[in-house]
Structure 1
Amino acid sequence: MPEDNDNPYLVSCSAPVNIAVIKYWGKRDEDLILPINSSLSVTLHQDQLKTTTTVAVSRLFKEDRLWLNGKEEDITHPRLQSCLREIRRLARKRRNDGNPDSAGLSHKVHICSVNNFPTAAGLASSAAGFACLVYSLAQAFGVEGDLSGIARQGSGSACRSMYGGFVEWKMGSREDGKDSVAQQVEPESHWPELRILVLVASAKRKPIGSTSGMQTSVQTSLLLKHRAESVVPRRMDEMTEAIRRKDFPAFAELTMKDSNQFHASCLDTYPPIFYLSSVSQQVIHLVHRYNRHYGETRVAYSFDAGPNAVIFTSQQHVPEFVQVVQHFFPPDANGEDFIKGLPVTDAVLSEELKQAVGLEPMPKGINYIISTKAGPGPRVISDPSQHLLSSDGFPKKTL
């Protein structure tokens, strides 16, 4: 950041959501957020799903402050403090190494962040949020290099949102967590025909948060222990290979099996944890019957810690599958906002396909669909009019 003056220095950035196809569930170190297994995710495009954050730095600020989705939040949360402390430490080290761009390290920060998707509904809001926070703070304080280890200390899966495309989070083996970082497997341009449909069944806050759910699972689930030690290492290799070959059937089968096993681990937890709803289960049936009708794997589902389905498919199958979803989950009569994001062309369903799927329709089971694809990692927003904070460092009235 530039030398001191009375005007706040503002930086705005955006960061993406990611969806794990090989899941992370459970920590071996709660403070450093070190996972019990490696994981692999697809970064979704920011044109459809993103967090936007503005950081303001000024010597006139009396304290660090945070506003999230229009409401001031407690910035003393340990994970927030961990990210702030680590960025400031690296900035101080950079200045001590003779870099003049690290002025204002003693200054307080104002942070304002908004999501363009439901928060805490199982759509990886904390991943995008902490990735964006860390990336924005790094831009403000002139910190460079791999930031995934810092983002991990805010939210484990946030480390994967520091890169675009297909991303691996290595569990690492060191006690200090220095080797528990994310790295890109392939960029977003690698598999251009891959498409992602987020089927939003509920935007409500999930009943059991991921942090407490993981703690209980680690303590009580023998299946989770077996999964981490014996299943995931092989699946990581197989998934990486499937992505590199753009082998959709292999990618799809691994994705569905891993989602199923994650939720089986939640059921194996004591007391059991239920993240899937009756709508989620209906989507699972629909996908398998759709694939069986065609005698090949055209679509795959994945569910994180929530009821919302993430569907992976090829671009050519999107129109028909969206029509299938609309038929078996009829939306409200007005329905004009049922499909958001990338445009989807119309398709006509055959009676044969409807009969092959053969499910009882669940009206309004799916609120809407977000049509998207793989996208890039965090980026700086260069247009000053897009700042969420005014020139005085406080939230704009429109938030």
Structure 2
Amino acid sequence: MMVKLFFFIFLFHLTFIRSKTKHYKMKIITVQAPVNIAVIKYWGKKDENLIIPLNDSISGTLSMDHLCATTSIAFSNEFDSNRMWLNGVEVKIDDNKRLVRCIENVRKLAESTVGWPSNHYIRICSRNNFPTAAGLASSAAGYACLCYALCKLFEINDPYIISSLARLGSGSACRSIYGGIVRWIAGYDHQTSIARQVITENEWPEIRIFVCVVSDHRKDTSSTSGMQLSCQTSSLIKYRAENVVPDHCDQIQKAINERNFDKFAEITMKDSNQFHAICQDTYPPIRYMNDTSWSIVNLIHFINHSFGHNVACYTFDAGPNACIYCLDNHAPILIKSIRRMYQKNDGTELEIKGITYQTDQIVIDQKINDYIDSRKQNAEDLKYIISTRLGSGPKILTNQFDSNCLLLDNGLPKN
């Protein structure tokens, strides 16, 4: 009798495990995820392992029509190992602790849902359509894309879970899981440090963003290294996190809810300035902005002064590239002013990628013209402008090996 009972229990357990674990020869997914540009900066961590920030941060998610990361992930028992390619170059997964951590956390979740058979491996191919590591939040888009794709592949759909997993790869990545304007709540542990959407991209559709690409080369000091050094040496960083950022977050969120661009712009510029002051207070000092960056800062302030209120604002992440926020009615004059400032001697105008504007009939105020003429910059110092708007969070492109997929059906990259 006992033998029969044991046999019955064994069969039940085996049937339960098999029903819980899906066996698949091949699964494939391709996802796009957006870049986000912070208006209230994240700089410094109170937990390096879990990537818990010192303070809240707020960002705008940029349209994937113009800036995005694309990732394809294949999962199969025909593969003999996990492999990954980033922008055409194979990277060793085991050498990247954050990458390993993201994959292992998804594996644990998958094992409790649809299953992750031990004889199955993944192949990952990812690429960005913008300069990597030049202060354009490439790691944020990349890890948001990776974690969103992995989670969707294994039917993990809770956005808070996806956001917290993305944070383990790159802090800012948690904000790229949502569209519109997003606030990352600093929290105190893995469960409480999550991003929440403030407004969707359709609730303030007039916002336009210009990314002025000053440099598309790798920066001298990575964000991770810079944050660690600032936390170790800056006497201002703790004061900023405890006394300034909470007020900045509350003020700018109020401005967003009221669609008060003048106040939104003021807080954005003040917070960017203070972030870079922290970098200067770091020992040795970190200098992300260069002379071209400062010429854009000065131009924006002069234009705002000429209008009598803020019609545009700048913000700089950890790099020299300026990100300019404005409303659509002022976009043409800003584009024309920047182009004039960096116009070549032969009259060739700066390239605009993305949303274009007809500026032939736009008349620039004479005071602004005189300012630009007296401070003409080297045309080669500003490479191009990416013109975009607020956009949505990540999206699935395909579950097939088709033209959108970056992988071949043998698990190798197409190119």
- TM-score greater than 0.5 by the shorter chain: yes
What code does the residue aligned with 1:14 have?
Q
Contact 1:56 1:109 in 2 (8 A): yes
1:301 CA drift (Å): 0.2
Q: What amino acid maps onto 1:90 in structure 2?
A: L
Q: Structure 2 matches for 1:1-399, cutoff 5 A?
A: 3-6=22-25, 8-76=26-94, 77-95=96-114, 102=115, 104=117, 106-145=119-158, 146=160, 147-174=162-189, 177-331=190-344, 335=348, 338-346=351-359, 347-357=362-372, 359-363=374-378, 364-382=380-398, 384-397=402-415
Report the counterpart of residue 99 of structure 1 in structure 2.
Answer: none
Question: Which residue identity does 1:341 align to in structure 2?
Answer: G
Percentage of identical aligned residues: 46
Normalized against structure 2, the TM-score is what?
0.90
Distance across 1 between alignment mates of 2:168 and 2:407? 25
In structure 1, what is the Cα distance between the partners aligned to 2:154 and 2:350?
40
Give 1:290 deviation, angstroms: 0.8
CA contact (8 A) 1:331 1:367 kept: no
Q: Quick one: which amino acid aligns to residue 315 of structure 2?
A: S
CA distance in 2 between counterparts of 1:117 and 1:2 reads: 39
Residues 218/371 of structure 1: CA separation in 2 closer, same or farther (3 Å cut): same
Q: Which range moves more in the overlay, 355-364 or 290-299? A: 355-364
* Unaligned stretches of 5+ residues in structure 2: 1-19
Aligned counterparts of 1:335 and 1:110: Cα–Cα separation in 2: 44
Give the 3 Å change call, closer, same or farther, for CA 337–320 of structure 1 in structure 2: closer
Q: What CA distance in whole angstroms lies between the structure 2 residues aligned with 1:333 and 1:114? A: 36
Question: Structure 1 unaligned runs (5+)?
Answer: 96-101
| 1:50-75 deviation per Cα after TM superposition (whole angstroms, max 9, x unaligned) | 00000000111111111000010121
Q: 1:293 Cα deviation (Å)?
A: 1.1
Aligned partners of 2:51 and 2:168 also within 8 Å: yes
Give, in angstroms, the shift of residue 335 of structure 1. Answer: 4.9
Q: Helix, strand or coil: the match of 2:325?
A: strand
Residues 68 and 334 (structure 1), Cα distance of their counterparts in 2 relative to 1, 3 Å cut: farther
> How far apart in 2 are the matches of 1:316 and 1:5?
53
The 8 Å contact of residues 25 and 214 in structure 1, kept in 2 or not, is answered as yes
Cα 1:28–1:278 shift into 2, 3 Å: same
CA apart distance, 1:232: 0.5
How far, CA to CA, are the matches of 2:345 and 2:53 in structure 1?
Answer: 41
Query: How many matched pairs?
Result: 388
Larger Rg: 2
Partner of 1:98 in structure 2? none
CA distance in 2, matches of 1:38, 1:331: 42
Q: CA RMSD in A?
A: 1.8
Distance in 2 between the 1:171 and 1:297 partners?
29
Give the match for residue 15 of structure 2: none
1:321-354 CA-partner distances (Å, limit 9, x unpaired)? 1111011112585857700001211134343321
Equivalent-residue separation in structure 1 for 2:344 and 2:123 (angstroms):
41
Whole-angstrom distance in 1 between the partners of 2:97 and 2:34: 23
SS at match of 2:217: coil
